[in-house]
Structure 1
C-alpha cells in the first residue's frame, strides 16, 4: 500500500514558517505561491517578528496561530530548524516540507542532525519532505508550496534539481504537457523517492511520472516499486539520472566488479522494470510527449511518409538506429497508395510524395490514412516539409495562402485519421511551430523539429522485451567465514554447480597421490592469487605425472605459493566459456552479470546485467541477447551448446550470492558450456 502522504498533497491547512516580505528570501516566494490557493484551505504566515507579510497579519510562532496546522513549510535558518520542527509537531502537523539546508549535504555532523529530526518526525506519525529541498506543488489540490508556478497537466515530476524543473516546464509547453505534481526531493531524510513514486502511481490525476534522481537511496525498493507501477497501473515512468560513470568499478577485485558500472546497473534495472531511461531533459520531454496519449504500437514496423528523398532516408536510418524496422509495404498497400498519389510518388517505404504536396496538400492526409490502415504497419512517421507551406507565399505569387489553407485542411484530416486508429503517428517538421503542426499537436500527435526525436518517440511507444521485474531476495544463509578458491568451490558444488575433480597440495611429495586419484590431463593452479592467469599461476593441458611435476617445479620456483590445486582438465572441444558473476551494489544490492568469459572477459566486454537472483528463464533471455549469442547456437559446423544448463547454472550462482549478503563479489569464470551440461572451471569470492 505504501505510506499515507495525503497530508502532504491535500492538507487541511498550511503554515509557512519563515514567511517574509523580503524578495531575497525563499520564504517570500513560497508564501506568495501558497496564497494562490484561493481559499481552498487556510494558509497561515509565520514570521518571528510578527507584523504583516503580503498585507496579512503574520503570527510570531506556530503556537500563536491558535489552531492546529496540518502541514508546515519550514523556511528558517538552520540554527532554528529543529525548534521549528518540534513546534510544528506539537501543533499537530501531520506533514512538513523542509526547505532549510545545512544538513547531510554538509557532512557527518549535519547528517546526524538530519537523522535525529527525521526520527522525531516519524515518532510523531508525521511525514517530511527534505530538508534541503525547494518545496512541492499539487495542481490537482491547489497546493502551491514551491517558488515557481507549474502548468497543470498529467505528469508528476520528482526531482533533485529545481532548475531542471524549470527547464522541463519550458520544454513541455510546445507539446501541451503539464504537471499534476512537482516534488523537490531534497535529502530524502524521511519521505523518499520510493514513497513518492508509489503515491504518484496511485494518484488519479497523474498519467505519467518523470524522475530526475542523483541518489536512489534504496535502489532495489525503487526497482520493485517501478515494476509494480508499470505492471499494475500502466503509468509510464521516465528516469533521467546523473552519476552513472564507471569510477565505482575501479577498486573491484574481480572481472565482474571491474565490468559492473553504475550505468550498467541503472540501465538493467530500467530494462527489467519497464522504466524509460533517458540521458537529457530534451529526451525526457520527447518520451513523455510520445507516451502522453497512452498509445502503444503493436510491433516495431514503421512506415515513413516524406515529401523528399533526403528526409525519408534520414528518417529511415534514425528509425533503424532506434531498433525499429522500415519494412517494404505489401502489394495491396502499394496499389492503394498509387491510386491516391501521383505517378512519380515512391510507395515502397519510405513513401515519398515527390512534390505532390505542393500541388495538393491533401495528399499528406490520403497517404497517412492508407499507411495507418495497412496491416503490415505498426506506426507512422511523417517527416519533412509539412507545416511549411504557409511560408511559401512570397515565392509563389500569392498562391501560398491557398497552400496554407490546404495544409490546414490536411492537418485536420490527419487528426481525424489519427483519432480513428490506435496506432501511433509522429510528425517531424522543419516548421514545428507552424499552425498546421499546432493542429496536429492539439490532436495528440507529437510533433518534433528533429528526426532523431521523432524516432526516439516511436521507440518509446513500441513494446520491448518481456519485463521480468525484480526477483525477491532469498532468506540470508549462514554467512561464509572464508573466501579461498577451494572453499568457494566446495560451497558452490554443494549448491548444485558442477566442477572438475580437484585436490589441494602443498608440496611435490603429494603429486603421486593426486595422479592415482584421477587421470590426466591436468590443470595446475597456484592458490591465493587474485588473478591467477595474469600472474602465470595456471598451467593447462598437463598430459601426465611427468608434465605435472615439471609444471609444479617451475610454478613453485616463480611464485612460491603456499598451496596449489591440481584439477582434472576439462575437454574444451566444442565448448563455449562464459562468465557469471554477482557484484553487490551499494544502492541496488546484488547485481548479476553474464556474458562471454574466459581470459578475454574484459577485452570482449560482451556482458549483460540484471538484479540478482536471476531465474533460469530470465538468464536464457540474457544469454540470447548477447552480441555473440550466435556462437552459443553453433557456427561453422560447431554444435549448439546447452543453453538450458547454462541458464540453470546462472540461477544457481546468483541465488547463492543473493543469499549471502556478506559476499561483495562472486564470480565463476570460466563456466564451460558444452553440448550437454556445464562445468565451472574457476571461481572467486570476495567478502565485504
Structure 2
C-alpha cells in the first residue's frame, strides 16, 4: 500500500529549526532556500537564541510560532534531536526532514535511538525523511528545503549523495533536463527509497525516476516498486563489485556477488542500471525519446572512421547493425551520390559538404526502412552551423543549409514512430540545438549515444520478467542433510535417481539388491564431494560397489554414504541450479552450466527467486553454451522445457524456506527425455 506523502512534498507551512545567519551552518543554507517561495506557504525560521535570521524575526521555539506547522526541517545538534522531534509533533507537524546526523551510521546505540524516533513519528501519523540527510526539494510545489537550487524539469532524483546530485544536474543541463523533485535519502529511518519510488511513480509531473543508492534496505521491495511503476527507473549504485554476505559453502555461494544480484534485480524489474553519473545522464536523456521497436540500428555518418567506431560501440551494447536490404539500399542510392556507402554503416562520403540536406533525406530513408528500428547519426553534423570551429562559422551558406536540414529532420521525426539518436563533434551548435528541442538526444561521445540506444531498445514491459511474489513460508526444514534435502525437493516434483543412505557394508548390500546397477557411491557430510574423492561413478555391479565402498571408507571415514542408480549421461548436459539468500534482495537464483567445472567455466545467469518456468527458459537460452541445449554435432536436442520446470520447482522450494541460506542442485542432468537431479545440497542460515 502506497504511503501518502502529501505532507512531505506539499505542506501547508514550513519551519526550519536551526535556521542560522552563519553561512558555515547547514541551517543557513536550508533557510535561504526555504525563503525562495514565501508566497506559496508560510515559512517560519526558528533559532533558540531568537533575534533575526536572514533579515526575518526568528522564533525561539516551534511552540513560539503560535500556530500549527505542517513540515519541520530539523538541523540541530544530535543531542537535541529527540526533543526537537517531540516539539514538532506537538505543534501538529505531519512531516519532518531530519538533517541532523549521529544515528544509525554511528553504530548500534545510534541505531537504537533512530528506531525509537521513527516509531514515535509513525505513532503520531507523521512521516520522517532522514535523519542524516541533506534535505528535499519539489519544484512542482515550490518547496525548497535543500542547500542547493535544482533546475526544474521532469526527473525525480532520490539520492544518498548530495555531491552526486549536483554532478548529475550539471550533466543533465546540456540535454535541457531538470528535476521535478530531489530527496536526500539519509538513513531511511521511516520514509524509505521504496516509499519514494512509489510516490514519484504516481507524481504527474515526474516522467523518470533517477536513484543513487548505496543501501537499498529492502532491495526486493525496491525492485517490486520499480517493476510496477509506469515510468522508467534509472539506478546508479556503489559497491556492486564486492561479494555479498553468504556462507559460500556451495558453488552458488561462491559465484554469487552483489553485482550479480543487483543486475538480476534490475533486469527482472525493468530498471536501467548505469555505472557512472555520465551514463545516467545519457540514459535519462534518451528516455525522453520514443522507444525503439527492436534492436536493429542503422548507423549513418559523414566519415568512414566515425561510422566504424559507432558500429562497434552499438554492437558492444548488444544491439545489431545489420546490412540493409536491397530495397533500402536502392532508396538510399537514389538520394546519395555514387561514392556513398549504403550497406550499414551508411556513409555520405563527403556529400554533406555539397548538400547538407542530404543528412535529412538519408535519415528519413533509414527511418522508413523495415529492417531498421532506430538510427544513430554520428560525426560532423552541427559543424557547418557552429559558431566557431566549423567549416566557416555561423552565417555561412553551409551553416544555413544545415539549419534547414535540422528543421526538416525535426518535422519528419514528429511523424516517425522510430527514434533518432545523434552524436556530434559540435553538440551545442545551432543545428544540434534544433534537434534537441525536437526531443532528439544529442551526445558528444559515441559511447553515450550507443548506451542511449540500448536504453531505448529495452522494452519497458515485455522485456522484463517481473518480480515473482515470494510464496507463503513453509514449515521449516529441520533435516538439511543430503537425503533430507532430496526428500524436500522430490516432494516438490523434482526427479532424482533411486537412492538409499547406508552406514555399513551390510546396508550397502541391501541397497544394491533394491535396484540394478550401474551404481554411484557418494560419501555424505563431505564438503564438495567430487573434489575430495567422495564420488565413485559407473560402478557396474555389486562387487565393484563393495570395492569402491571399502576404499572410500578407508580413506574418508564418512559417517554415511549414498548408493544411487547411475543415470545415463551419454546424451545429456549437466546444469547447475542454485538459490542464495541475499540480505537485501532475498532469494536469488542461479542457473548455468554445471558439474565439476561450474566455477571454472562461470557460465551462469541470475534472477530473483522464485523463477517461473518461462523465465528459466529465457535464462538458459541466454547462456554462452546455450547451443548445447539444441544439440550439436549430431547430438539430439534436450528437453529444455523439463529443465525449466525443474528450475521453477527448485527455486520455489528455496523461496518458501527462509531458513535455507543456500540450496543447490548440481548437476541437474538434462537429456532428450527429461531432467534429473543428480546431487543436491542445502545450507541452513
For the superposition of Structure 1 and Structure 2, which TM-score range results when normalised by the shorter chain?
A: over 0.9
Map of 1:216 onto structure 2: 216
Q: Deviations over 1:82-102 (max 9, x none)?
A: 010000000000000000000
Deviation at 1:512, TM superposition (A): 2.0
Contact 2:476 2:657 in 1 (8 A): yes
Taking the TM superposition and a 5 Å limit, the aligned residue runs for 1:389-408 are 389-390=384-385, 401-408=396-403
Taking the TM superposition and a 5 Å limit, the aligned residue runs for 1:202-241 are 202-229=202-229, 233=230, 235-241=231-237
Q: Is 1:586 aligned with 2:586?
A: no
Map of 1:242 onto structure 2: 238
Contact 2:386 2:429 in 1 (8 A): no
- Partner Cα distance (1:392, 1:76) in 2: 51
Map of 1:607 onto structure 2: 604
Taking the TM superposition and a 5 Å limit, the aligned residue runs for 1:519-530 are 519-530=516-527
Q: Deviations over 1:187-234 (max 9, x none)?
A: 0000000000000000001000000011111111111111100xxx2x
Q: Is 1:301 aligned with 2:301?
A: no
Q: Secondary structure at the match of 1:649?
A: helix
Contact 2:432 2:442 in 1 (8 A): yes
Map of 1:628 onto structure 2: 625
- Partner Cα distance (1:669, 1:414) in 2: 56
Taking the TM superposition and a 5 Å limit, the aligned residue runs for 1:271-420 are 271-293=267-289, 295-390=290-385, 401-420=396-415
Greater displacement, 324-333 / 466-475:
324-333
Map of 1:198 onto structure 2: 198
- Partner Cα distance (2:376, 2:390) in 1: 28
Distance 1:402 1:484, change over 3 A: same
Q: Is 1:462 aligned with 2:457?
A: yes
Deviation at 1:329, TM superposition (A): 2.2
Q: Secondary structure at the match of 2:244?
A: helix
Structure 1: gaps spanning 5 or more residues: none
- Partner Cα distance (2:389, 2:606) in 1: 58
TM-score under structure 1 normalisation? 0.97
Contact 1:249 1:258 in 2 (8 A): no
- Partner Cα distance (2:619, 2:134) in 1: 41
- Partner Cα distance (1:397, 1:676) in 2: 71
Q: Secondary structure at the match of 1:439?
A: helix
Q: Is 1:598 aligned with 2:578?
A: no
Q: Secondary structure at the match of 1:315?
A: helix
- Partner Cα distance (1:312, 1:562) in 2: 67
- Partner Cα distance (1:311, 1:5) in 2: 49
Q: Deviations over 1:81-129 (max 9, x none)?
A: 0010000000000000000000000001111110110010000000000
Which of 413, 428, 445 pairs up with 2:423? 428
| Alignment coverage as a number of residue pairs | 683
Structure 2: gaps spanning 5 or more residues: none
Distance 1:332 1:510, change over 3 A: closer
Map of 1:155 onto structure 2: 155
Contact 1:498 1:680 in 2 (8 A): yes
- Partner Cα distance (1:398, 1:209) in 2: 39
Q: Secondary structure at the match of 2:97?
A: strand
- Partner Cα distance (1:153, 1:145) in 2: 17
Map of 2:70 onto structure 1: 70
Q: Secondary structure at the match of 2:579?
A: strand
Q: Is 1:128 aligned with 2:128?
A: yes
Map of 2:89 onto structure 1: 89
Contact 2:243 2:256 in 1 (8 A): no
Contact 2:387 2:429 in 1 (8 A): no
- The list of structure 1 runs, each at least 4 consecutive aligned residues, that deviate by more than 6 angstroms after superposition, is 392-400
Map of 2:49 onto structure 1: 49
Q: Is 1:562 aligned with 2:565?
A: no
Deviation at 1:376, TM superposition (A): 2.2
- Partner Cα distance (1:587, 1:375) in 2: 44
